[in-house]
Structure 1
Amino acid sequence: MDTPPFSELGLPEELLAAVESLGFERPSPIQALSIPVALTGSDMLGLSQTGSGKTAAFALPVLAKINLQTYAPQALMVCPTRELAVQVCEEVHRLGAKMRGLRAVPVYGGAPMDRQLRALRDGAHIVVGTPGRLLDHVRRGSFDTSQIAHVVLDEADRMLDLGFREEMEEMLAALPKERQTLFFSATMSPGVKRLIEHFGRDPKTVKVEQKAMTVSTIDQSCIEVRERSKVEVISRLLDMEAPKLAIIFCNTKRAVDECTEALLARGYSADRLHGDITQQMRERVLKRFRDGIIEVLVATDVAARGLDVEDIEAVFNYDLPQDPEDYVHRIGRTGRAGRSGRAVSFVFGREIHRLEMIERYTRHPIRRERVPSQEQVEGKLADQLFEEVKERLTESKFNSYQDQMDRLLEQGFTPTDVASVLFTMLRESSGREFGEIAEDREEPRERRRPGERPVREPREPRERAPRGDDADMTPLFFSLGKMHGVRPGEIVGMLYNEAGLPQGSIGHIKLFDKHSRIDVRSEHAERLLQVVKGIKLRGRPFILDYDRGPGDRTRGHGR
């Protein structure tokens, strides 16, 4: 369904600003239906499957009702598991980031009681927790429920399935009768119905029809990949698949940064999105991604929430998500509007069990694949090059080089010799150096017994230089090197972002201890030198100038 923008749902400005900063572009169906109803103060039953964005559906209207001047619990959110309680509390903090002084406290079993007692004693506006531990605090008197005006039961059916019925009933009975209760459940089970009849006040029902958990047009597969081999394997997949637009999902901001830097250093058109990226930069990155200037977007789940970009042909799970729900969110970025899509997940070791859990959750098999071999990738790239040359031959005039061709033929070279050399030159100029990885030397998993290790021990992959055409390149001196902690990917990203250079403008980067050498296309060198004046990298000023040889490489290090 087409949903209205968040600005039309009745939310206050500080929440709209937070939603915008998180990158939510439009509310999900359950959010669009629930928020206006919850804002009226009436009780509500929200029926929606896991993975529909229901946390924001109840957190936003509850946050809109919080009085920040009163440091006493005003809202209670009850979750079936500690993991979900932590996740919901984190989401509350993100959505309430613009509300100065907001305090939300997670309360769950398995965590130190004294820390929770201290947090509750210090004052909190919102308490998020599991039934058992919440009831412990109610019985102790450490949880003041006298001013609770809003209660959310998240995944009510699951809490009942886990045997929390008595705890939930005792806890709800201890709360003020004059309150708003929001029930969220995937199903309307008899237990949920009884709970609503007993503790609800004529709740309004909001229902989102359950859709297929995964889109049938998405081809889902997984590949066993060691952590140290991931960059090489993702490079091979990008070369093999050649997607128009692709998203690579990582579980942490650090992984996003490292993956992006590695891809930039190899010459791919890539950029990043994670929680530390400013809204202005986020909008800039998304615009470049939509326009096809960036072909590969590396992102965390939080940064990609609400991302609405058409024509994404492939999604890669660089890290397998912890939650099956996040897997559904991720792969749903591709295969839209009836188009075909591709989703590839990297797994290794015990992650195989998480993958099986995802398969049970989605009720869809995930095909096992092998790492593409160097020969396969080389063959694919050769086919692409053949098609490009064939297209040029059929569409373009190429007789401007007839003189050079005649000279070569006069010297005894055959047309086949000339074509072979030109193909080799083209391939070398546009390709990249491959690295051997442990997965190249292993037999397929299906030929090994479960748990059996490969015979040969893995070796570290070789370091590779960035892709790029070295023709007509100008070497530049850069006054930061290894001892300053800089990486090739950081340098590449900084130069592209600051100067707006076209893709392929930067060639090889060689890091020395105290300086670096950067090859830049000659036509862009002078402009680049002017644009980066006054810019810093890792908080350090630097000198970027024409490389005039060894005698010129001791300048500016103390600057």
Structure 2
Amino acid sequence: MAGEGDISEFEDLGLNEWLCNQCKALGIRKPTPIQKNCIPAILMGQDCIGCAKTGSGKTAAFALPVLQKLCEDPYGIFALVLTPTRELAFQICDQFQVLGKPIGIRATVITGGMDMLQQGLDLSVQPHVVISTPGRLADHLTSCDTFSLKRIRFLILDEADRLLEDDFGEQLETIFQRLPKKRQTLLFSATITDTLKELQEVALNKPFFWQAEYTTATVEQLDQRYMLMSADVKDAYLLHLLDRYSEENKTSSILIFTNTCKYCQILGMVLRELGFPCAVLHAMIPQRQRLAALAKFKSNQVRILIATDVASRGLDIPMVDLIINHNVPNRPKDYVHRVGRTARAGRGGMAITLVTQFDIRLVHAIESFIKTKLTEYETAESEVMKILSEVAVAKREAEIRLDEKDFGEQKQINKRKKLILEGEDPDEVEKQQRKRRLERGKQGKKKAKSS
């Protein structure tokens, strides 16, 4: 095998000719660093932990070797890919189907928000690759026996840090109990964490570990700014920013991140009311509407997408020119994932974070983590004041309309019903979840202070 410095083509990685030709047909000419390093190790049968910035070709780094091994010994279910968000699951499935088209790859997506009976039928025909969120797959495993994961060759955790550190523990345990001990395990992420380092140290099969070398956690082509304002006028500043930026960049696409589903919905209603066509993407709208919103944004039918962090992980949305953080993320790595939706594959991009008097410490923690100082995005306060009352009225009307629809209440009712049926106390579960979130927040602040 050629050394990394000698690798310039996919053929040098040990991939079959049909896969190399497929990459070329898709316009993928040269392997990226994570592909150069991880593909040979996976082909040799090693477990692998790979970490590189967003937009670095991580999906192909595991999809290509899995497809090569599959064509040598085709059967289903051959590989299981777990991912934290539904949209990312569909995107990974698309990449498997495109790269594996010459061998007639059968891949299926198993996520919440879709027909569970149809998904059971899809699993029963033994597709080659299953891409799933942990919760829905765990539901299938505990409620039916029409499929088995006992013969899988590959377990892949994409955005592994979030899967291992967020509230997926119980579902992952259910899934892992049904997997064979003899398998290859591949973990990929854009941010390396203590959890991934611990896995490297305690793994039974010493995994191949590769992390991209970089001095900053975000790409150099990204212009990172902040806007300072009082908390009570934040939405007026957002509207002023959108108006100014859209006027100067008429064909640009803008992705706005918010911290809650409800605020995401409110902002969407406010923007439409004030003449900004947009789509919204969050966990409390039906899955088909979520996919439709993403498709509209990708195809430039709308230039503005407002989303929660369901859109911050791994999604490849071409040509996003501006990211706006409506709130400052509590965890610096969440900031990295959000702003990673722009300045991809060598292109430029800008990220602007709206900062209030309550967010200063969070901004300092982010700057320390990414080893880059955010610069101020200049704006005229007098211009913002002109639209202040108009924005406030539109927001209040949106809140009233949303309250009339009992937004989010049915989801909470269903959640409590499910816990009661499982013999759990909903209030106690909620208290434990709050406690875990507080502990994670304290740990994040300690890390920020120590760094």
| TM-score for both structures, normalised by structure 1 | 0.45
- Structure 2 CA distance for aligned equivalents of residues 78 and 189 of structure 1: 20
Counterpart of 1:116 in structure 2 is 119
Counterpart of 2:298 in structure 1 is 252
Distance 1:100 1:175, change over 3 A: same
- Structure 1 CA distance for aligned equivalents of residues 223 and 112 of structure 2: 40
- Aligned to 2:391, the other structure's residue is in SS state coil
Counterpart of 1:126 in structure 2 is 129
* Alignment gaps of 5+ in structure 1: 238-249, 259-299, 305-315, 335-342, 348-355, 372-441, 456-559
Distance 1:162 1:32, change over 3 A: same
Matches within 5 A, 1:215-364: 215=219, 219-220=223-224, 224-225=241-242, 230=246, 233-234=248-249, 251-253=297-299, 317=321, 324-329=339-344, 332-334=346-348, 343=349
- Structure 1 CA distance for aligned equivalents of residues 169 and 197 of structure 2: 10
Counterpart of 1:84 in structure 2 is 88
Matches within 5 A, 1:34-183: 34-67=38-71, 70=74, 72-96=76-100, 98-139=101-142, 140-183=144-187
- Structure 1 CA distance for aligned equivalents of residues 383 and 156 of structure 2: 49
The partner residue of 1:452 within 391, 399, 402 is 391
CA distances 1:76-116 after superposition (whole Å, capped 9, x unpaired)? 111122232222222222322x3242111111223321221
- Structure 2 CA distance for aligned equivalents of residues 14 and 302 of structure 1: 27
Alignment length (residue pairs) = 299
Deviation at 1:58, TM superposition (A): 1.0
- Structure 2 CA distance for aligned equivalents of residues 26 and 144 of structure 1: 37
Distance 1:219 1:114, change over 3 A: same
- Aligned AA for 1:103? R
- Structure 1 CA distance for aligned equivalents of residues 156 and 339 of structure 2: 23
Larger helix proportion of the pair: 2
CA contact (8 A) 1:68 1:101 kept: no
Matches within 5 A, 1:517-536: none
- Structure 1 CA distance for aligned equivalents of residues 150 and 168 of structure 2: 23
Deviation at 1:158, TM superposition (A): 1.4
Deviation at 1:162, TM superposition (A): 0.8
- Aligned to 1:317, the other structure's residue is in SS state strand
Distance 1:445 1:367, change over 3 A: farther
Matches within 5 A, 1:193-212: 193-194=198-199, 197=202, 200-212=204-216
- Aligned AA for 1:66? L
CA contact (8 A) 1:68 1:102 kept: no
Distance 1:64 1:213, change over 3 A: same
Counterpart of 2:194 in structure 1 is 189
Deviation at 1:32, TM superposition (A): 1.0
Distance 1:14 1:302, change over 3 A: farther
CA contact (8 A) 1:251 1:320 kept: no
Distance 1:100 1:191, change over 3 A: closer
